[in-house]
Structure 1
Amino acid sequence: MFEPRLALASLSGESDAQWATAASPWAGLAFLGGLALDDPTRAAARELVAERDRKEFLPADPFGFMDAQLGQLADLNIEPGFNVRAVEPTALRRAAAICEEHDAVLEINAHCRQPEMTDRGGGQALLHEPERLREQVAVASATGATVSVKVRAEVDGVDLPALGESLVAAGADILHVDAMDSEPVVGAIADRVDAFLIANNGVRDRETARNYLQRGADAVSVARPSDDPRVLDRVLRGVQES
C-alpha cells in the first residue's frame, strides 16, 4: 500500500507534520498523532500531561488540527496517516471523513495502555471489547477512508489473530501490530488475516526489519528512534533487501 515499506509510528505529542517531513526521505507512510478526539480521551490526555509529564496533542479543536496537519503533508512524497483515540464512534466518523478528504489513513488506537485512558474505555481497553472496536472500524470504514487498527500483543485474554479476522470483516484495511517482543505473533496473524500487516516493536536495524518481513509482515514501523537518520538508514536497507 506504500513504498518503501517503512512506516513511522506515532509518538503522542511529538508526531506532527514537521516530524513526518524530517523523516520522509526514509519512510513511505507516517502516522501522525496520537490524538485524543472526544471528551473522555481528552480528559485522559490532560491527566497524562499533568500526572505523568507526558507529551500530548491537546488543541482546542482536534479536528481542525487534523485537517491542518494533513494539509501540510499534501505535497510531500509520503503517505499520511493519523492515529486517533476515541470512546464514541461519532468522533471517529468525523476524523475518518477528514482523512478521506486528504487520502490519509485513519488509524484507530487500541494500543495505549495507560490506566487514565483504558479506565475511560479508550486505547487498549478496546481489545477487551471487540464488538465496540468493530463498531469503530465499521463507522470509520463507511466514510471511504483507509482504516488501520493499532493493536498490542501479549494482552491477557486477547486472541489477536481471531480479533484481526473480525476487524478485517468489519472494514479494517491495515493491522499495525506492536509485537511486544513476541515476534511469532506477527506470523500467526499473517497466516490467518487478509489485511496489510505492519509490524512494530524493536525495529532498529536491518536484521530486525528483515525478521518481521520474513515472518509475513508487509511492512515495519519505527517509533521512538524515528528521528534518528542512522536508525532509519539501517531499517530501510533491511526493508529493501527483503
Structure 2
Amino acid sequence: MSDLYNLHAGYLKFRNPVAVASMAGITDSAFFEQCKDAGLYILGGYSLDEPTMQASKAIAARGRKEFVSDDIFSLIESELKKVSGKGVAIGINVRATTAGPMIRAAELAKKYGALLEINAHCRQEEMAAIGVGEVMLKDRIRLARLVTELKSTGVVVSLKMRTGVVDDVALLRLLEKAGLDIVHVDAMGRGGANLKEHGNNSIEGYETAQAMYSAGSDMISMARAVMAGPKIVKSIVAYTEDQQQMTGWYNAPSHICRGGDLRGLTWCCPPIKDCPIHMALRRANLDPEKFAKIKLNFGKGTPLEVGTTTCFGSMVWCCKFNKHCYLREGSMEENNLDMKAYVALKKKLSEEIIKNIDKERVIT
C-alpha cells in the first residue's frame, strides 16, 4: 500500500484521506463495491440494543432507510468479513443507550482491524428521545467515560459529531484525554486539540474538498454526493493525490489573512504592521517577539534562512506556494530550492510553531 500521505490512527493506516461516511440503510458491503478507491469506508450506522433498534424501526416506518435486524451483531460481523482485506480502512458507526453493546461492537471492530465510530451526530427524534445521537454531546462526562471504556478494548475510536451544539473545543480536549483518536466533525475549522480531524461538510467537488483540507482537516468524508454518483470518490482521490504529489502538503492551511487556522502562521510576515496576524497570535497566546524568534531560529542553517530578493531578507517570512510572488520565486531559484522542497520546509516550520503553542490556552 502506498504511504504517500503517512496517515495513521492506532493500528489503522489510510491509503488516502478520502472517506465515505456512514449512511443508515445505505453504506453496507454491497455499496462498498462502488467505493473501493476510498481511504476509509464506514459501515452503518447500526443500532445495537433494543431501544435503538425500536427507534430504527420507527424511523424506517416513516420512510427513512435504516439497518433493521433481529441479530445485529451477526449482521455487523458478516459485513466486516465482506469488506475486510480489500486495501480500504473500515469503520463501523454505532449507537446504543448503554456502554455494554458498544463495547461488544468495539471488540468486533478490533477483531477485524476496523475502527469504532460513536454516532453523536444523528438528530432523528426517535433517537434523541432515548438519549442517543447528537444529544450525547450535552453530557461530556458520560461521553468521556464511554470513550475510556471503549479504548480499554484496544479499538481505534472515532466520534462523529456536529459543531455548535456545545463548546466543541472544551468537549474535544476532554475526549482527547479520555483516549479519543479521531473526530469526524460536520463543519469546517481546526480546533484546539491534537486529534486527527476528519471533516464532513457536504463535500461535492474539488472546491469544497480543498476548502475542507485548507481548514485543517486531515481527512474529508462524503455521503450524499456518493449516493448521487459514486465515481466522485475516485475523482476526489485523484485530485488529492495530484495535490500531494505536486506540493507534499495536500491540506496546507490558507493564509491567516484569508481565514487560515494557526498552522497558517508559517506563511506570515513579521508581526510589525497592523494586520490579522496579531489577532491570530492573541488567539494562540503567543508573544509576537517569541513568534519571530521561533521562525528565525527554525530558518537557521536551512534554505529558508536566506532570501536577498524577498521583502524581509529571509524566506521564513514568505507566503503560500499558490500565491505568485516574483520576489520569493527569485530567491528560490537563486538558492536552487524547488517548490516541493520549499513547501516541505514550511510544513516543518508550521509544526515547530504549533509545538510552541499551549493548546489548553488557545482562544476559540
Normalising by the residue count of structure 2, what TM-score does the alignment of the two structures yield?
0.61
**Structure 1: distance between partners of 2:17 and 2:105:** 25
Output the amino acid matched with 2:169. Answer: P
- Aligned match for 1:77, one of 87, 90, 113: 87
Q: Which amino acid aligns with 1:20?
A: F
Task: Assess if the C-alpha contact under 8 Å between 1:44 and 1:116 holds in 2.
Answer: yes
Higher relative contact order (CA 8 A, sep 6+): 1
Q: Deviations over 1:10-31 (max 9, x none)?
A: 0101110121222112x11001
CA contact (8 A) 1:21 1:76 kept: no
Deviation at 1:232, TM superposition (A): 2.2
- Give the partner amino acid of 1:173: D
Q: Deviations over 1:104-142 (max 9, x none)?
A: 000000000111101101001101111121122111111
Q: Which amino acid aligns with 2:92?
A: F
Kept in 1, the 8 Å contact 2:158–2:180? The answer is yes
Q: TM-score, normalised by structure 1?
A: 0.91
Aligned with 1:159 (options 153, 159, 167): 167
Give the whole-Å Cα distance in 2 for the aligned partners of 1:95 and 1:206. Answer: 35
Runs of 4+ in structure 1 over 4 Å off: none
* Structure 1 residue 174 displacement after superposition: 0.5
8 Å contact kept, 2:40–2:91: yes
Residues 51 and 97 in structure 2, CA contact (< 8 A), matched pair in contact too: yes
AA matched with 1:236: V
Letter in 2 for 1:36: S
Distance change >3 Å, CA 230–CA 69, structure 1 → 2: closer
Task: Name the counterpart of 1:231.
Answer: 232
Contact 1:17 1:69 in 2 (8 A): yes
Please list every run of 5 or more consecutive structure 1 residues that lacks an aligned counterpart in the other structure. none
Q: Quick check: 1:194 aligned with 2:188? A: no
The 1-side partners of 2:182 and 2:18 are apart by: 14
Please show how residues 1-242 of structure 1 align to structure 2 within 5 Å. Answer: 1=8, 2-25=14-37, 27-50=38-61, 52-155=62-165, 158-179=166-187, 183=188, 186-187=189-190, 189=191, 192-227=192-227, 228-240=229-241, 241=243, 242=250
Is the Cα contact below 8 Å between 1:124 and 1:152 reproduced in 2? yes
Asked if 1 retains the 8 angstrom alpha-carbon contact of 2:184 and 2:198, the reply is yes
Q: Distance in 2 between matches of 1:127 and 1:3?
A: 30
Alpha-carbon contact 2:199-2:221 (below 8 Å) kept: yes
Structure 2 unaligned regions, length at least 5: 1-7, 9-13, 244-249, 251-364
1:81/1:99 contact within 8 Å kept = yes
Determine if contact 1:92/1:139 at 8 Å carries over to the other structure: no
Amino acid at match of 1:176: H
Q: Give the total of aligned pairs.
A: 230
Within 2, Cα distance between the matches of 1:31 and 1:233?
16
The amino acid across from 1:49 in the alignment is A
Q: Which has the higher strand share?
A: 1
Q: Is the 8 A contact 1:87 1:122 kept in 2?
A: yes
- CA deviations 1:179-231 (Å, max 9, x no partner) are 1xxx2xx22x2xx1111110001111111111111111100000112242442
Task: Report the identity percentage.
Answer: 36
Q: Give the Cα–Cα distance (whole angstroms) in 1 for the partners of residues 17 and 100 of structure 2.
A: 32
Residue 160 of structure 1: CA displacement?
1.0
Shift of residue 154, structure 1, vs aligned partner = 2.6
Q: Distance in 1 between matches of 2:240 and 2:162?
A: 22
1:221 is paired with a residue whose SS is: strand
Deviation of residue 166 (structure 1)?
A: 1.0
Helix, strand or coil: the match of 2:91?
strand
Mapped contact 2:121–2:160 kept (Cα < 8 A): yes
Structure number with bigger Rg: 2
SS of the aligned residue for 1:7 comes to strand
Displacement of 1:81 after TM fit?
0.4
* Deviation readout 1:35-78 (Å, 9 max, x if unpaired): 0001221111111111x311110111111111110111123110
Report SS of the residue matched to 2:34: helix
Which AA in structure 2 matches 1:114? Q
Which residue of 1 is the match for residue 309 of structure 2?
none
